[in-house]
Amino acid sequence: MASYVAMQPPAAADAAGDAVLVRDGFSWLAFLVPPLWLLWHRLWAEAALAVILLVLLSALGEIAGFGLTAPLASLLVGLGFGLEGQGLRVAALRRRGWREWGVVQAESADDAELRYAIEAEALSPQAAAPHRIVPDAAHARHTQAGLVLGLPHPSGKS
């Protein structure tokens, strides 16, 4: 069963409808083609960093004569993005003001969306009015002036 991190947009009226579910786990596309995967998910700075890192590793392999070391280092870079790519997506959403709603466990993305929608609707403030444990001060009885030895005057008499 896979875990999905539910991220809600900042200050939206229908946050449950606009939520993004990010699958937590290894991403094969991020492993195979890190810059393209990062660009697809609009992680611009991370994609630029991946391109620079991969170009430097390739140049290091050609110039310095590190025949097998540079491709292995590139493989490690891909492995890092494959393992942490989804975490980078969640961090980017947090930087943009999105808030983490919680984690949904489901077999597929469709099941995760369904479970999230049901849970978000059940937990929304419009679904049920909160039960007040402490009474509201507006509903309290008004205090009467004119205490005599700790006993209140009956109302209507002065």
Which pTM value belongs to this model? 0.68
pLDDT tens string, the chain, 158 residues long: the values are 889 999 988 875 555 568 889 998 999 999 999 999 999 999 999 999 999 999 998 888 888 777 788 888 889 999 999 999 999 999 999 999 998 888 999 888 888 888 988 887 777 665 555 555 655 666 666 665 555 556 565 665 55
DSSP 115-156: HHHHHHHHHSTTTSPPPPSSPPGGGSPPPPS--BTTBPPPTT
For tokens 């309290």, the residue is 140
Contact 100, 90 (CB under 8 A): yes
- Write b or e for each residue in 79-104: b if 16 or more Cβ atoms lie within 10 A of its Cβ, otherwise e: eebbeebbebbbebbeeeebeebeeb
Contact 120, 15 (CB under 8 A): yes
Contact 116, 6 (CB under 8 A): yes
Could you tell me how many residues make up the chain?
158
CA distances from 24 to 1, 6, 56, 132, 133 (A): 11, 10, 29, 38, 38
CA distances from 153 to 26, 69, 139, 140, 147 (A): 75, 94, 22, 19, 6
Per-residue pLDDT, 59: 85
Ranges of each domain in the chain:
2-128
In 1-152, alpha helices (H):
28-32, 34-40, 44-63, 69-95, 109-123
